[in-house]
Amino acid sequence: MFLDTERQPFITDPSNRDPVFERSRLRNEGSLPVGREFDALLNEIRTFACERKSNESTLHRLLAHSVELHPAGFALLDPALLLNAPRDISEGLLAALAVTIGGRRYSPRRRRVMRLREMLMSGKRHGYTLGGCQFVGWRGRILVLRELAAAAEPVTLRAGARCVWDLRFSIALPMGADGPVTVGYLGRAGVPGLGHRLQEPLPGGLPRLIYPTVPAVWDDHGLAAVPHLGYRREARMVLPEVRFQPTNPLTRADFTVV
């Protein structure tokens, strides 16, 4: 092997030889075709690759036109997409939303995505969950927000520290901060305590449904800020930077065919 020749240490993945996986069976059950059969196989692979690239491009265009992604970590979806787009494209969109808004590393199982699409298309005014997200009807659109029961626990940062929290937010506390702070979701219990502190109406007309799912900042004196709702206890206090940067963004580079 090349790595052996180069005396380069490497790790062998045992699943590559496990017959449970189709890729392992293909490796172990026979050799590659030759001649015309090999050319035919390459053409078939290229055909599937081009089809995948086309589907991904279509999905990304629909995401750009039908989904509004908010820096507070939620999304609004035009439900007409589910009616007009091909089934596989609309299911791909729902899966992409679940991965991004739900802070997931991998896409949910297809049968669950299919069931969600059917429920949303039924027109029933209920909330549904998928992959750590809630899908809720709101003013003629579908609101996609974090499911609190599946969210990460709050995180505490000291001055100069930074982290990725809940696989969704990049958080950095400047060196000038007076002391440590804790960042977590406001939660349902935290909403009533805001009361008159919030500006009404909020910029952009944010739905009140999302209030419990927005990041909040606490210090030794209690609730210090809810940046995405425009609240901060003291004008001069140094707050952490909380940016929505999901590990898996809603769109990514298209599949490449060479």
**Structural domains in the chain?**
40-147 (1.20.59.20), 151-244 (no CATH)
pLDDT of residue 208: 85
**Max CA-CA distance within the chain?**
76
How many helices (H) and strands (E) are present in the chain, helices listed first? 7, 13
pLDDT of residue 195: 63
pLDDT of residue 203: 52
Q: State the number of CA atoms in the 13 A half-sphere of 86 facing the CB.
A: 7
pLDDT of residue 156: 96
pLDDT of residue 178: 86
Per-residue pLDDT in tens (0 to 9) along the chain, 258 residues: 678 888 888 888 888 878 888 777 777 766 666 677 777 878 888 888 888 787 778 778 877 888 899 999 999 998 888 778 888 888 988 999 999 999 888 889 999 999 999 888 887 767 899 999 999 988 888 999 999 999 999 999 999 999 999 999 999 999 988 889 999 999 988 888 776 666 555 555 678 889 999 999 999 988 999 999 888 888 788 999 999 999 888 877 666 666
pLDDT of residue 72: 93
Residue 151's closest CA among 173, 129, 136, 172?
129
Element (H, E) at 185: strand 181-185
pLDDT of residue 85: 83
pLDDT of residue 196: 62
pLDDT of residue 12: 82
Q: Where are the alpha helices (DSSP H) in the chain?
A: 2-5, 22-29, 36-66, 80-84, 87-101, 110-121, 187-194
Write b or e for each residue in 149-168: b if 16 or more Cβ atoms lie within 10 A of its Cβ, otherwise e: eebbebbebeeebeeebbbb
- Report d(CA 59, CA 78) in Å as an integer: 14
Answer for the pair 151, 145: CB distance below 8 angstroms, yes or no: no
Predicted TM-score (pTM) above 0.75: yes
pLDDT of residue 204: 55
